[in-house]
Amino acid sequence: MAKTRKVYPVGAVLLIINLLMASRIPLSRSILLLQRTNNHFPHSHFTPKRFPKSYPCPLWSSSFSSCLQTLHQSSTTTATTPPFISTCYSSFSKDPITDEANPLLQDFEFPPFDVVEASHVRPGIRAILKNLESDLEELERTVEPSWPKLVEPLEKLVDQLTIVWGMINHLKAVKDSPELRAAIEEVQPEKVKFQLRLGQSKPIYNAFKAIQDSPQWSSLSDAQKRIVESIWFCYSVSSVYQFHWEKKSFAGVVLDVVAMFVLSFDEVALHLDCIHTHDFVMPFSSQIKEAVLNGVALDDDKREQFNKIEQELERLSQKFGENVLDATKKFEKLITDKKDIEGLPATSLGLAAQTAVSKGHADATVENGPWIITLDAPSFMSVMQHARNRGLREEIYRAYVTRASSGDLNNTAIIDEILKLRLEKAKLLGYNNYAEVSMATKMATVEKAEELLEKLRKASWDAAVQDMEDLKIFSKNQGAMEANDLTHWDTGFWAERLRESKYDINEEELRPFFSLPKVMDGLFNLAKTIFGIDIELADGLAPVWNSDVKFYCVKDSLGSPIAYFYFDPYSRPSEKRGGAWMDEVVSRSRVLSPNGTAPRLPIAHMVCNQTPPVGKKPSLMTFREVETVFHEFGHALQHMLTKQDEGLVAGIRGIEWDAVELPSQFMENWCYHRETLMGIAKHYETGETLPEEVYSKLLAARTFRAGSFSLRQIKFASLDLELHTNYIPGALDSIYDVDQRVSKRTQVIPPLTEDRFLCGFSHIFAGGYAAGYYSYKWAEVLSADAFSAFEDVGLDNSKAVKETGNKFRETILALGGGKAPLEVFVEFRGREPSPEALLRHNGLLSVTAPA
C-alpha cells in the first residue's frame, strides 16, 4: 500500500491542468478515452479575407455563448455573416497577441480546422506559452484563497491553451502529416514544461489548502468541494500520456483501436473507443488523500526527477502511437487474381479497388482489380470474416498481430521503458506499483478490479469453450480440412459462417438496410424520444477538416441551442487513425459565460472509421458499425447534455475512468430495441423495412459467442493489470512471457509464440487506459443495470420510457463529475449496481465455470 503522509488539496490546479491541458475518449475510454480541446486565448481581430471559413466569436471569450445564440436567432445573420468581431484578452494581459497570418492566434467562433497548417504550430504554441507564463506569474503574485480569486482565473488561464492544443492534436488524429507531427513533437516538451510548472505551483497549492481550511468551505457547492478534494490527483496520473482513444486528451496520440482487439478475429471487441489520452478527466476517490499524485509534495530533487519522467513518458507514448499508425499504413497486399479474394463481399471489393486507385492503380475496378488489402479495420475485418483463402487470412492476421514489432517501428523497447518509468513514478509517489497510482483515479481498487474480472472469467469460461467446440463441429460438417486444428485466422471466418447458418444472418447482406443517413435520423429520433432534444444539421456554420465531416446543433424542447458537435464518419487510412472516439472541443462553463449568466455551450466531435460511400451508394453500415455510432453518441450526450456549470467537472470532465463508459455502452442497448432498430433499418433503394424475422434473429444472435467476447476483454484487462502490478521491467520474464501466462487462464486458444499484439496495444501505452482497461467491464455492469431500469418499466410503455429517460438525463448525463458516480448511479437507479443485468444480457447468467 502507499505510504501515509499528510497532503493538501490542490484540486482545481490539477484538474484544470490535466483536464484542460494534458493529453486527451478513449473514453471509451471508449474510453474511454479518450480527449480535450479547449482554448482561451487573447488574439487580434479576425481577418475574414484571410480565413473565410472561420468566424469571429472566440471560444474563450465571454461573448461566445451569446454569439452562438445570435447566429441562430437571426434568419439573415448566418454562418456567412457573423454578428460581430471580438478582440479578446487573457485573464491578466492588457494587450492581445497579434499574428494575422496565424489562425491559431486569431479570434474565432469555431476552431479554424480548415486553415490550420503545420507551419502555424510552432509560432502559435510558443506565443501562447509565453503569454501564459506571464499570466501565471501574475496569478501567483495576486492569488487569494477564494473561488473568484483562485479557481476562476485559473480555469480561464488554462482554457487558453487547451482549445488550440486540442485543435492541432485533433488534426494530427484525422489529418496526419509528417510536417504536423514534427511540429507538435518539437513544441510538446515546452507545453509539458509549462504544465508541470503550473501543476507544481506552491502559491496556488497553498491557496487551495487555505480554501479547505477556511470558513467559506462550508458554503461551497458539492461540485466545488469535489474539485478541491478530488481533482487534484488528476494531473500526475494522466497528465502526459497521450493518445484518442479515446472516452477522452489534448496532446494525446489517438489510439489505434483494432490492434488491441485481435488475437482471434471473431473475438474482436465490437466497438472500442479510440480515445485520446485523457479523453475523460476523472476525479479521484475522496478516500485517497495520502499522496500528492502530481508531485507537488516532492522534494526539489525528486520533483525534478518526476518532471523528467513525465516528459519522457509523453515522448514515448507519442512515439508508440506513431509507430502503430506507420506500421498500419506501411502494409499493403496487392492482389491481381480474383480467386485469391473469393468470399469477400462486393462492398469490401469496392473498398479494395478504391484503395488501389488511390495507390496509383488508376484502372482498378471492383470486378477486375487489382485490389489492395490493408491493415485498416474495414479491410482487415473483411478478410478475416469472409476470405475463403486460408493462406490470405493467415498472412493478414500475422501481419496484424506483429505490427510495430520490428525494424525502426519496433515498440518493444518503448513498452519496457514506459513500464519502467511508470514504476519509477509510482515509487517516487510512495506507491508499490503503477496500478495503485492509476486506481487513485478510479471507483475501483486493484483488488476489486481483479475480483470482478475473476467473477466474469468464471461466468464466461465454459461458454467460450463451448463456442470453440461449436466451431469445430460446424466446420467439420462443412468439410473444412482445418476443422480439427482451428486457429486464430480460422475462428472469425467460421464464426461468421456459423452465425449465417444458425441465424441466417449475413452482415454484408444487411448493409443495404443500414445506410448512414437513415441510421443518424433514427439515432436522433431516439434522442428526442428519451431525452427531449432536437438535433439539426448545421453544415456551414463551422469550418471542418474534411468535406465528409458533418456539423450539428443540439436544441432543447424550446428550440434553444444547448450544444454542437462534429461527426467524421469514414475511414481515411492515409491520414486518419483507426478506431472510433469522441472528444471535447469546448466544455460547458459558468466562468466563461457571457455576462455572467448563461454558461458557455459545450461542443464535441465524434470520429468513426466505417466504410465510406462507394460510387453512388451511400455509406452502407454493418450492424457493428451501427452499434459503434450509438456508442460514441452516448459519450457525446454526456458531454453535451450536462447541466453542471462548474467547467472543471462539467460533462465528461471529472468522472472516474471506470464509470465513463456508462452512457456509451448504455446507448448500444437501444440497437436491439425493436422500435428503434426498425426505424433505422430501411433499404436504401427500396425503402423496405428490415423483415421481422431478421430482427428476431439479430436479437437471438446478440449472445452469439458471448463467452468468447467476454473472455477477450478479460484477457486485455488482466494483462494490463499484471503488467502494472507484478511485472518488473528488465527481469527474466519479458512482456511477451506475461502475455502468454495471462492468456492461459483467459483464452481458449493461446496466442502464437510470435504474437506481438502488445506492440499495438495503444489503449495502455498511448492512451489513458494504463492499469484501467478493466473499466470497460466495470462500466458494462453499470450500463447494463442502467438500461434494465427501462426494461423494468416496459420498453413499449412510451410514457414510462420518457420519464425514465428524463431521469437518466437529469442524473447520469447532467451531473458530470460534480458528484461521485456511485452516488449519481444510486440517484438514478435507487440502489447500487448489480451484475445480474449484464450476465442476463450476455446469456451467461446461468453459466458457471471451474476455477
The DSSP string of 388-427 is --HHHHHHHHHHHHTTT-SGGG--HHHHHHHHHHHHHHHH
Q: 575 with 176: CB under 8 angstroms?
A: yes
76-103 pLDDT, tens per residue?
Answer: 333 322 222 222 334 444 344 556 789 9
Q: 778 with 453: CB under 8 angstroms?
A: no
As a whole number of angstroms, the distance between CA 10 and CA 14 comes to 7
222-229 vs 202-213: helix crossing angle, rounded to 10: 130
Instruction: Show the cell assigned to 728.
Output: 518488473
Residue 595, pLDDT score: 67
| 292 pLDDT more than 90 | no
In Å, how far from its chain's centre is CA 724?
Answer: 21
| 277 pLDDT more than 60 | no
Residue 836, pLDDT score: 87
CATH number of 99-246+285-297: 1.10.1370.40
pTM: 0.73
| 5 pLDDT more than 80 | no
Instruction: Show the cell assigned to 194.
Output: 509549462
| 314 pLDDT more than 70 | yes
Per-residue b or e along 43-61, where b marks 16 or more CB atoms closer than 10 Å to that residue's CB: bbebbeeebebbbbbbbbb
| 419 pLDDT more than 50 | yes
Annotate 550-571 with three-state secondary structure: EEEEEECCCCCEEEEEEEEEEC
| 847 pLDDT more than 50 | no
Residue type, 477: N
| 19 pLDDT more than 50 | no
Question: Where do you find CATH 1.10.1370.40 in the chain?
Answer: 99-246+285-297, 511-704+775-842
CATH superfamily of the 411-503+708-772 domain: Neurolysin, domain 3 (1.10.1370.10)
Instruction: Show the cell assigned to 151.
Output: 479557481
Q: Supply the DSSP string of 274-308, one letter for each residue.
A: -BPTTSS-----TT--S--TTSTTS-HHHHHHHHH
Q: 576 with 180: CB under 8 angstroms?
A: no
Q: What is the mean pLDDT of residues 586-590?
A: 92
The alpha carbon dihedral of 741, 747, 748, 749 has a sign of negative
Question: Selecting from 3.40.50.2300, 3.30.590.20, 1.10.1370.40, 2.40.50.100, what CATH number does the domain 511-704+775-842 have?
Answer: 1.10.1370.40
361-390 pLDDT, tens per residue?
Answer: 999 999 999 999 999 988 999 999 999 999
Residue 378, pLDDT score: 86
246, 450, 507, 632: the active-site residue: 632
Mean predicted lDDT score pLDDT of the chain: 81
Per-residue b or e along 599-621, where b marks 16 or more CB atoms closer than 10 Å to that residue's CB: bbbbbbbbbbbbbbbbeebebbb
As a whole number of angstroms, the distance between CA 238 and CA 310 comes to 10
Q: 128 with 190: CB under 8 angstroms?
A: no
Please confirm, yes or no, whether 454 is among the known catalytic residues: no
As a whole number of angstroms, the distance between CA 547 and CA 555 comes to 24
Residue 682, pLDDT score: 96
Q: How confident is the model at residue 400 (pLDDT cuts 50, 70, 90)?
A: very high
| 471 pLDDT more than 80 | yes
Instruction: Show the cell assigned to 74.
Output: 437571426
Residue 99, pLDDT score: 65
| 554 pLDDT more than 60 | yes
Q: What is the mean pLDDT of residues 541-556?
A: 96
Q: Which of 54-58, 326-330, 684-688 has the lowest mean pLDDT?
A: 54-58
262-271, 343-352, 560-569: range with highest mean pLDDT: 560-569
Q: How confident is the model at residue 296 (pLDDT cuts 50, 70, 90)?
A: low
As a whole number of angstroms, the distance between CA 524 and CA 180 comes to 35
Length of the chain: 851
In Å, how far from its chain's centre is CA 20?
Answer: 16
Q: What is the mean pLDDT of residues 136-165?
A: 90
817-834 pLDDT, tens per residue?
Answer: 899 898 999 999 999 888
Residue 594, pLDDT score: 64
Q: How confident is the model at residue 185 (pLDDT cuts 50, 70, 90)?
A: very high
Residue 305, pLDDT score: 92
Q: Determine which helix (DSSP H) or strand (DSSP E) holds 603, and give its type and residue range.
A: strand 603-610
Q: What is the mean pLDDT of residues 644-663?
A: 89
Quick one: DSSP state of residue 47? Answer: -
Number of C-alpha atoms within 13 angstroms, CB side, residue 621?
A: 24
Instruction: Show the cell assigned to 66.
Output: 451569446
Residue 230, pLDDT score: 66
| 596 pLDDT more than 80 | no
Annotate 671-731 with three-state secondary structure: HHCHHHHHHHCECCCCCCECCHHHHHHHHHHHHCCHHHHHHHHHHHHHHHHHHCCCCCCCC
| 753 pLDDT more than 90 | yes
206-234 pLDDT, tens per residue?
Answer: 888 888 888 889 999 999 988 887 644 33
CA angle 498, 336, 379 (to 5 degrees): 45
Side by side, which strands form the sheet with 561-570?
534-537, 550-555, 561-570, 603-610, 581-586
How far from 605 is each of 43, 127, 618, CA to CA, in Å?
24, 26, 21
| 776 pLDDT more than 80 | yes
Q: Which of 54-58, 118-122, 141-145, 300-304 has the lowest mean pLDDT?
A: 54-58
| 357 pLDDT more than 80 | yes
Residue 444, pLDDT score: 86
Residue 202, pLDDT score: 83
As a whole number of angstroms, the distance between CA 574 and CA 182 comes to 17
Q: What is the mean pLDDT of residues 248-275?
A: 28
Q: What is the mean pLDDT of residues 530-534?
A: 97
Residue 238, pLDDT score: 32
Residue 50, pLDDT score: 30
